[in-house]
Amino acid sequence: MSRPDLYRVWGNTLLPYLLGGDDMQLPPTVMTKDEKDEDEKDEDGHHRNRLGADGTLSALEFFRASGWPIYRLRTQLRMARGLFNTCHREVYSDVPFNYGTGSDLGNHATGVNLERYLRARFPRLAPAAAGTLSEVFVHCEGTKCLVDEVTHSKRNPDQVLNALDFLADMVKTARISAADEARIRGPFGHAPGRNR
pLDDT in tens, 129-173: 999 999 988 888 899 999 888 777 888 999 989 888 988 888 888
Residues 6+ apart with CB under 8 A from 99: 75, 76, 79, 81, 84
Lowest mean pLDDT among 48-52, 77-81, 99-103, 177-181: 177-181
147 and 94 assigned to the same domain: no
86 and 147 assigned to the same domain: no
Average per-residue pLDDT for the chain: 80
Q: How many CA atoms lie within 13 A of 137 on its CB side?
A: 3
175 and 193 assigned to the same domain: yes
Higher pLDDT, 175 or 89: 89
Give the H/E segment covering residue 75: strand 75-76
Q: Is the pLDDT of residue 2 over 80?
A: no
Q: Residue 153's CB: how many other CB atoms inside 10 A?
A: 12
Last residue of a domain, one of 116, 135, 154: 135
Last residue of a domain, one of 49, 72, 95: 72
Coil, helix or strand at residue 151: coil
Mean pLDDT, residues 113-134 taken together: 92
For residue 189, the model assigns a pLDDT of 47
For residue 194, the model assigns a pLDDT of 45
79 and 110 assigned to the same domain: yes
Higher pLDDT, 150 or 39: 150
pLDDT bin (cut points 50, 70, 90) of residue 119 is very high
Range of the domain at 163: 138-196
Q: For the chain, what is the domain count?
A: 3
Per-residue pLDDT tens digits for 168-188: 888 888 777 767 655 555 544
26 and 82 assigned to the same domain: no
Higher pLDDT, 24 or 137: 137
105 and 162 assigned to the same domain: no
Cα separation, 82 vs 130, whole angstroms? 10
CA dihedral 53, 58, 63, 66 (to 10 degrees): -20
Greatest Cα pair distance in the chain? 70
